[in-house]
Amino acid sequence: MSTPGPLADRVPAPPDRLTRAVNGMVAWIARHWLLLFSVLLILYLAVPVAAPILMQSGHERSARLIYAFYRLLCHELPERSYFLFGPQPLYSLSELTAAGVLPGPSILERPLYLGDMQFGYKIALCQRDLAIYGSVLLGGWVFGLLRGRVVLPRLTIKTYLIFLAPIAVDGLTQLFGWRESNYLLRTATGALFGLASAWLAYPNIQDAMADALQSLDAVAS
């Protein structure tokens, strides 16, 4: 009986069906990761906007589930959230307190106020978070348009920290009660942080996905 020669020992076995399926899934993600991120961000933003729509249309139970879930991800303070279906899109803490609609004065009680027929219903993400994730989504679209057409400059960690400073100052001074921010500052600092995060992350993710595709091509060949 003949034995395999040294050359035969170096030839890898062909991948099995499961391996080919996994490699195909990895390759698809590596090619379409930006689309996947965009879809996830759209869903993440659309669901909290659906909460006040559901409340207004009488689907209160479904809306309350959304509020409860997003309360794990966001403080949902009504004075820092946008409202739909009311006379105005936002309210100050003093306005809500004077109206007597809040379940309590503490930072743990105020998020439980979802809104009502008089004031409308709040979106289940605060103003700052809407700006952050919305700008990350927008930054991804800009990156997708420019990718492969323009050599994009990389954002360094040092420069990223400069972009991070406004949201840190605005958020921390508000958190410790030194001052009260407003919706314009929350939106502006959140958008700046989100765009900077997309600028820092997306080119590096693109490089990682390109390396993954090269490794899969090397294995396939």
| Digit-coded pLDDT (tens) for 111-127 | 999 999 999 999 999 99
Looking at residue 143, its pLDDT comes to 93
5: in domain: no
Q: Is residue 185 in a domain?
A: yes
Closest residue by Cα to residue 212 from 74, 67, 26: 26
| Under 8 Å between Cβ of 78 and 111 | yes
Quote the domain boundaries for residue 158.
Answer: 19-220
The DSSP code for 47 is H
Q: Examine residue 203 and state whether it is found in any structural domain, yes or no.
A: yes
Beginning with the edge strand found earlier in the chain, give each strand of the sheet holding 81-84 in spatial order. Answer: 81-84, 120-126, 115-116
**What's the sign of the alpha-carbon dihedral 119, 125, 130, 132?**
positive
| pLDDT tens, position by position, 60-90 | 999 999 999 999 999 999 999 999 999 999 9
Residue 21, pLDDT score:
83
Question: What's the pLDDT score for residue 152?
Answer: 78
Amino acid at 118: Q
pLDDT (0 to 100) of residue 184? 95
How many domains does the chain contain in total? 1
> What is the model's pTM?
0.86
Q: Is residue 84 part of a domain?
A: yes
Predicted local confidence at residue 175, as pLDDT: 79
What is the rounded (10 degree) CA torsion for 181, 167, 47, 78? -20
| Regions in the chain scoring below 50 on pLDDT | 1
CA distance 133 to 191: 8
Element containing residue 115 per DSSP (H, E):
strand 115-116
- 138 is written with which tokens? 């927008």
Residue 2 within a domain: no
In a domain, 6, yes or no: no
Q: How far is the C-alpha of 199 from the C-alpha of 207, rounded, in Å?
A: 13
Query: Exposed, middle or buried by CB within 10 Å (0-12, 13-18, 19+), for 121?
Result: buried
pLDDT at 13: 54
Residue owning tokens 């890898």: 12
Within-domain flag for 97: yes
Tell how far CA 8 is from the center of its chain.
50
14 in a structural domain? no
Half-sphere exposure of 6 (CA within 13 A, CB side): 0
